[in-house]
């Protein structure tokens, strides 16, 4: 029997990380935890380490190092702390797959380092490709590294393309639930609260991604990610609103034929597929029943109300450092909204101002991406 794949979960205490551990818990013959990386939730990281007994754990928040170290001291688990350790831990030669699931720009450095050390990537951090897609995909090609998407939409496209690699894609359709404010007007959205925006109708996700979903920025970031994952032009990527979240995405080939991937809204399935690819592994996840969903509906996204999606397309078409600006401004905007510093619609206004004020760079290198990210955050903060 094949040995269990050794997984490093970078972002183990977040929404994707905890669901990845559920997948591993259900499939101990297929997957084992080699490394756990958490941000600041020391209690949960300790609990995970005690259950899964990894080789090493890293806590990004250095002030929590002693707490983690003291508990795991006699468990033969190595403990490290700090952002540099997060970046370096993925170099471990025992790792087969790195699950990149730190939310936001913070996930970029460790993912790039994992690619440089020829680790297979299960990518849940869409911002990595949004910020530096050209750089990351080039690096992956140079190091012969496979990047398997974990986002449900990109996993769907990837699954539809299995066995079709030589066939030309005419178009892909990324589906969007429409979030909690589907059908609302700009007037309706003027005074929505943080609590209302955090109530997603179908998916259970962390706060940042849930707000992105409510503003349709999540879909905008996914459009940019799809360009790099599947080597597409912006006009080959369409978004359709599908409130039931059963059809996860669709590929249309040049003969007009279409393939869709369907399933219940559950992130465990795309996580498992990224871990097990090219095999499919049996599981006990809940199954989809057509008779519980007698109607599947589709509609056009409202980019007049939800301008973030239009801004993402604008950044993608312009290229260069603009997607990096879009992402940095959005991270500042979402953080400000979650802290009640700005209103829901003001997030888009802030992002648009940054896109028009930051200097355009056609082909940035890694250091220019870092500078652009810092400069945009500074500008966005000053505009709040």
Structure confidence at residue 200 (pLDDT): 80
Residue 201 — pLDDT band, cuts 50, 70, 90?
confident
Structure confidence at residue 206 (pLDDT): 80
Mean of per-residue pLDDT scores for the chain: 96
Please tell me whether residues 144 and 30 are part of one structural domain: yes
Instruction: Record the tokens describing residue 267, joined without a space.
Output: 């992130």
pTM of the model: 0.94
Is 325 within the bounds of a domain? no
Residue 259 — pLDDT band, cuts 50, 70, 90?
very high
Structure confidence at residue 222 (pLDDT): 97
Please tell me whether residues 61 and 21 are part of one structural domain: yes
Instruction: Record the tokens describing residue 24, joined without a space.
Output: 């591993």
Is 314 within the bounds of a domain? yes
Please tell me whether residues 126 and 163 are part of one structural domain: no
Is 339 within the bounds of a domain? no
Residue 1 — pLDDT band, cuts 50, 70, 90?
low
Is 286 within the bounds of a domain? no
Please tell me whether residues 125 and 158 are part of one structural domain: no
Structure confidence at residue 154 (pLDDT): 98
d(CA 138, CA 317): 19
Other C-beta atoms closer than 10 Å to the C-beta of 90 total: 25
Longest dimension (CA), the chain: 61
Structure confidence at residue 19 (pLDDT): 96
Q: Do 172 and 240 meet the contact criterion of CB atoms below 8 Å apart?
A: no
Please tell me whether residues 95 and 24 are part of one structural domain: yes
Mean pLDDT score, 299-316: 97
**What CATH number is attached to the domain comprising 122?**
3.40.50.720
pLDDT tens digit sequence for 279-306: 999 999 999 999 999 999 999 999 999 9
Please tell me whether residues 26 and 114 are part of one structural domain: yes
Please tell me whether residues 170 and 136 are part of one structural domain: no
pLDDT tens digit sequence for 227-246: 999 999 999 999 999 999 99
Is 331 within the bounds of a domain? no
Instruction: Give the C-alpha distances (Å, rounded to integers) separating 42 from 68, 119, 332.
Output: 6, 26, 25
Please tell me whether residues 89 and 185 are part of one structural domain: no
d(CA 244, CA 177): 7
Is 336 within the bounds of a domain? no
Say whether pLDDT at 337 is over 90.
yes
Phi-psi region of 194 (alpha: psi -120 to 50; beta: other; left: phi over 0): alpha
pLDDT tens digit sequence for 10-56: 999 999 999 999 999 999 999 999 999 999 999 999 999 999 999 99
pLDDT tens digit sequence for 66-104: 999 999 989 999 999 999 999 999 999 999 999 999 988
Domain final residue pick, 149, 167, 195: 149
Please tell me whether residues 217 and 102 are part of one structural domain: no
Residue 274 — pLDDT band, cuts 50, 70, 90?
very high
Number of domains the chain contains: 2
Is 89 within the bounds of a domain? yes
Please tell me whether residues 175 and 28 are part of one structural domain: no
Structure confidence at residue 2 (pLDDT): 78
Domain final residue pick, 132, 149, 166: 149
pLDDT tens digit sequence for 128-170: 999 999 999 999 999 999 999 999 999 999 999 999 999 999 9
Domain final residue pick, 149, 176, 210: 149
231: domain range?
Answer: 154-265+299-318
Say whether pLDDT at 204 is over 80.
no
Is 180 within the bounds of a domain? yes
For β-strands 247-253 and 56-59, DSSP reports them as unpaired
Residue 323 — pLDDT band, cuts 50, 70, 90?
very high
What is the layout of strands, in order, in the sheet containing 258-262? 237-241, 169-176, 247-253, 258-262
Please tell me whether residues 191 and 239 are part of one structural domain: yes
Please tell me whether residues 111 and 62 are part of one structural domain: yes
Residue 106 — pLDDT band, cuts 50, 70, 90?
confident
Residue 373 — pLDDT band, cuts 50, 70, 90?
very high
């Amino acid at each position: 029997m094949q040995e269990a794949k050794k997984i490093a979960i970078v972002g183990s205490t977040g929404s994707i990380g905890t669901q990845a551990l559920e997948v591993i818990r259900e499939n101990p013959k297929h997957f084992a935890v080699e490394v756990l990386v958490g941000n600041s939730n020391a209690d949960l990281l300790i609990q995970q380490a005690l259950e899964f007994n990894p080789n090493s754990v890293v806590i990004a928040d250095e002030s929590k190092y002693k707490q983690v170290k003291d508990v795991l001291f006699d468990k033969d688990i190595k403990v490290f702390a700090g952002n540099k350790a997060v970046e370096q831990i993925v170099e471990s030669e025992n790792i087969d797959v790195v699950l990149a699931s730190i939310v936001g720009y913070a996930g970029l450095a460790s993912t790039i380092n994992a690619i440089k050390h020829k680790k297979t990537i299960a990518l849940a951090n869409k911002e990595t490709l949004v910020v530096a897609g050209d750089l990351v995909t080039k690096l992956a090609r140079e190091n012969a590294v496979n990047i398997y998407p974990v986002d449900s939409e990109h996993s769907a496209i990837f699954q539809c393309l299995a066995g079709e690699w030589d066939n030309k894609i005419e178009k892909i359709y990324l589906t969007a639930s429409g979030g909690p404010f589907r059908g609302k007007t700009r007037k309706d959205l003027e005074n929505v609260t943080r609590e209302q925006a955090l109530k997603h109708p179908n998916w259970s996700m962390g706060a940042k991604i849930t707000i992105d979903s409510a503003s349709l920025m999540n879909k905008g970031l996914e459009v940019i990610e799809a360009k790099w994952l599947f080597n597409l032009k912006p006009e080959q990527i369409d978004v359709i609103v599908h409130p039931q979240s059963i059809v996860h995405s669709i590929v249309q080939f040049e003969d007009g034929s279409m393939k869709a991937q369907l399933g219940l809204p559950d992130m465990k399935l795309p996580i498992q597929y990224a871990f097990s690819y090219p095999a499919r592994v049996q599981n006990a996840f809940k199954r989809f029943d057509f008779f519980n969903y007698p109607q599947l509906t589709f509609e056009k996204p409202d980019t007049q109300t939800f301008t973030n999606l239009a801004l993402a397309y604008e950044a993608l078409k312009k290229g260069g450092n603009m997607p990096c600006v879009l992402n940095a401004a959005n991270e500042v905007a979402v953080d400000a909204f979650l802290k009640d510093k700005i209103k829901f619609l003001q997030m888009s206004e802030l992002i648009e101002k940054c896109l028009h004020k930051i200097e355009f760079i056609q082909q940035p290198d890694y250091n220019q991406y870092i500078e652009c990210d810092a400069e945009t955050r500074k500008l966005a903060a000053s505009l709040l």
